[in-house]
Amino acid sequence: MKYSIPDKRELIKPEIEFLTYLFKKAKPEWNNTIRNLKVIARCGCGNCPSILFEKRLDSKMQKGNLIIDSVGKGKNDELIGVSVFGNNQMPTELEFYSIDGKSEIIEMPKIKTLKFIMQKSST
């Protein structure tokens, strides 16, 4: 499986709401970056809602460090890991994955179920 599939577009409303919540709780200095983020790729699986960001649609993917690590529940109460990777200036990836490795993650968890495991400085 490829790591990512090109998917150049603007963020959609549910993604903006999700990022706004995550950054407000765990990385408030990134709140102002949301309006400038562009989706440049999605997960190589083609099914999950994981996305990669940049400031411009023609930018190349950047690697980032794990900055926010959380867990939430899907509509069937399956545990969904949520990770945000980034660098000093901005987030680079929003990843969703099955905690138990058995569930197929095809949508974001419910925001109200999120619990933060870790948040750290990107430096």
Confidence (pLDDT) at 123: 47
Residues 53-87: tens digit of each pLDDT:
998 777 776 789 999 999 999 999 999 999 999 99
Confidence (pLDDT) at 5: 93
Place of tokens 């867990």: 71
Confidence (pLDDT) at 7: 94
- In this prediction the pTM is 0.90
Confidence (pLDDT) at 118: 65
Confidence (pLDDT) at 120: 60
Residue 9 corresponds to which tokens in the numbers above?
């577009």
Q: Quick check: 106 pLDDT over 70?
A: yes
Between CA 29 and CA 6 the distance in angstroms is 28
> With the C-alpha atoms ordered 54, 55, 57, 59, is the resulting torsion angle positive or negative?
negative
Alpha-carbon distances, residue 42 vs 25, 32, 49, 64, 74 (angstroms): 24, 22, 7, 15, 19
Q: Quick check: 121 pLDDT over 60?
A: no
